[in-house]
Structure 1
Amino acid sequence: MVSLRSPSTLPVVGVLADGRTYRHLLYLLLAIPLGFVYSMLFSFGFMFGLVFSAVLVGFVILLATLIGARIAAGFERWLANRLLGTDLDRYDDVPADTDGAVAGVRKYVDAASTWRGVGFLSLKFFVTVVAFVPLVALANGLPLLLAPLRYPYVANFGESNGEPVTWAIDTLPEALLAVLLGVVGVLVALHVTNFVAYVCRQMATALLGEPRTDEEASAAESAADDGGPVTVDDSSGSDDSSGSDDEAPAAESVPPEPDEFIPADAVEPGSGDDTGSAGDTGSADEPVRDDGGS
């Protein structure tokens, strides 16, 4: 029997049929605005906090920036779990119970997860810059795929030294060449997208949380819960079977009513209905043979 190969496992072109590719693409699309927001807010927050650290308001700004970084890191962890295929849980390094406001503030400053989140958000800006590469390649490659349907037209590829970079597609051979270049551009862009998403997944695993280890425990518990009723049913079934075994000897100890009232003379010799009746026939014939001999 011939087994069909999944399109997503094909080399080079399988990236087109892999659903993870488009989740990675969505992650990069969201990374561009988020990266700029993180860069502006946290850069200004730390800068103004340090400038005004001589007064109390500077420490308030720094604390608010750290809390905001923790919230943003939690959102990035959720985003990585949904779009990058990670399974991360938040770090459990912040004490739940603290005495006093100073201790409540200090627990966030002392937590390593706070500074790991700050490090991830700082690196997210570089992810934003790299994310432009596959997105620009897709923006330029996708229109070329429709070149045979819309030529003659002029493909615009941006600007270089203030001059627009264009390609006037006027003939069918040029349109077919544009389709080939468009396919190559789209494939390269999607592979770069998966590579950038892989780097982001490694960053998230190292800085945003620890892999959840309770999955196997929960699976074992669910398996135990599923097996529990089966065990109870088996024990109840064994009790029923033992009860039936107890009743069986009592039923067998009572001789069957038909065999009890069948006369020995009514059974034909050699009928062989059962061994019990054959034995009765033999015992009935013996007195006849004895009388005949006498």
Structure 2
Amino acid sequence: MTTTAGTALRRFVGVATDPQTYRNVSYLLLTFPLGLLYFTVLWGGGVAGVALLPLFLLGLPVLVGVLAVATHLADLETRLARGLLDSDVIYERPRPAEESLVEYVKRVTTDIRSYSALGYLLSKFAIGTAAFTALTTAAALSVALTFAPVLYDVPGFHYNFGVLTVESFPVALACSGAGVLVALLSLHACNLATRALDEYTKLMLGSERAE
């Protein structure tokens, strides 16, 4: 029983020294700027293509271009997942150099994976916003709590956490312990989140063992 508890404790605390944890955190942090980029390029391009549809020769090429760009960005996403998450996901995108322009356009516009890639990339904006908000909030809270013993008695500075006002060293020390706990729980949550995102990527973009 003691051995099991000790093993569980080491696993819980060990998340802070596991290099994969910080690769996972990096992946989550990247989802926000990348999600914003994807949304700007793909949504903006899609809106422009639809607006230009009355001008048949302009609207359709723009929409085809949006799908083509989406396939390239989906390939980038899977490379990122393999590099940071040690995932085995691969997106097999159409390659214009291996077929004629007509064949390439036909493949891009008729392959369901082009549309799943588009949906996946657009969803990364919401995922990235949520991840960035959660990470920054957790980081700010854990740092504020952890350094309470150092900062609580700074002259002219009121150290408050909601209804709790830190006015003594024992309370500040308890807050510091809570801050460490919040940090460890946040790192575990990051690992769980990246595993879920890896499965989502495999579902939307297709998965097979990388060579």
CA distance in structure 1 between the partners assigned to 2:97 and 2:30 by the alignment = 33
The higher-RCO structure (CA 8 Å, 6+ apart) is 2
- Structure 1 stretches of 4+ with a deviation exceeding 4 A read 6-9, 92-97, 165-168
| Amino acid in the other structure paired with 1:25 | V
Query: Residues 10, 195 of structure 1: CA spacing in aligned structure 2 closer, same or farther, 3 A cutoff?
Result: same
Q: Of 166, 176, 179, which aligns to 1:179?
A: 176
Give secondary structure in 1 for the equivalent of 2:194.
helix
Identity within the alignment, %: 29
Give the Å deviation of 1:180. 2.0
Structure-to-structure mapping, 1:132-147, within 5 angstroms: 132-147=133-148
Name the structure 1 match of 2:25: 25
Name the structure 2 match of 1:50: 50
Give the Å deviation of 1:7. 8.2
The structure with the largest helix share of the pair is 2
Query: Residues 122, 209 of structure 1: CA spacing in aligned structure 2 closer, same or farther, 3 A cutoff?
Result: same
Greater shift, 90-99 or 141-150, is seen at: 90-99
Name the structure 1 match of 2:117: 117
Name the structure 2 match of 1:210: 207
RMSD: 2.8
The structure with the largest strand share of the pair is 1
Instruction: Say yes or no: does 1:201 pair with 2:202.
Output: no
C-alpha contact (below 8 Å) 1:93/1:113 kept by paired residues: no
Report how many aligned residue pairs link the two structures: 201
User: What's the TM-score once normalised by structure 2's chain length?
Assistant: 0.81
Q: What 5-or-longer segments of structure 1 have no aligned partner?
A: 1-5, 158-164, 215-294
CA distance in structure 2 between the partners assigned to 1:44 and 1:154 by the alignment = 46
Query: Residues 75, 98 of structure 1: CA spacing in aligned structure 2 closer, same or farther, 3 A cutoff?
Result: closer
Q: What 5-or-longer segments of structure 2 have no aligned partner?
A: 1-5
Query: Residues 61, 166 of structure 1: CA spacing in aligned structure 2 closer, same or farther, 3 A cutoff?
Result: farther
Q: Deviations over 1:192-228 (max 9, x none)?
A: 21121111110122233432265xxxxxxxxxxxxxx
Name the structure 2 match of 1:150: 151
User: What's the TM-score once normalised by structure 1's chain length?
Assistant: 0.60
Q: Which has the larger radius of gyration?
A: 1
Query: Residues 204, 156 of structure 1: CA spacing in aligned structure 2 closer, same or farther, 3 A cutoff?
Result: farther
CA distance in structure 2 between the partners assigned to 1:209 and 1:9 by the alignment = 36
C-alpha contact (below 8 Å) 1:8/1:16 kept by paired residues: no
Give the Å deviation of 1:62. 0.9
Give the Å deviation of 1:182. 0.7
Name the structure 1 match of 2:3: none
CA distance in structure 2 between the partners assigned to 1:67 and 1:104 by the alignment = 9
| Amino acid in the other structure paired with 1:183 | V
Give the Å deviation of 1:31. 0.8
Give the Å deviation of 1:24. 0.8
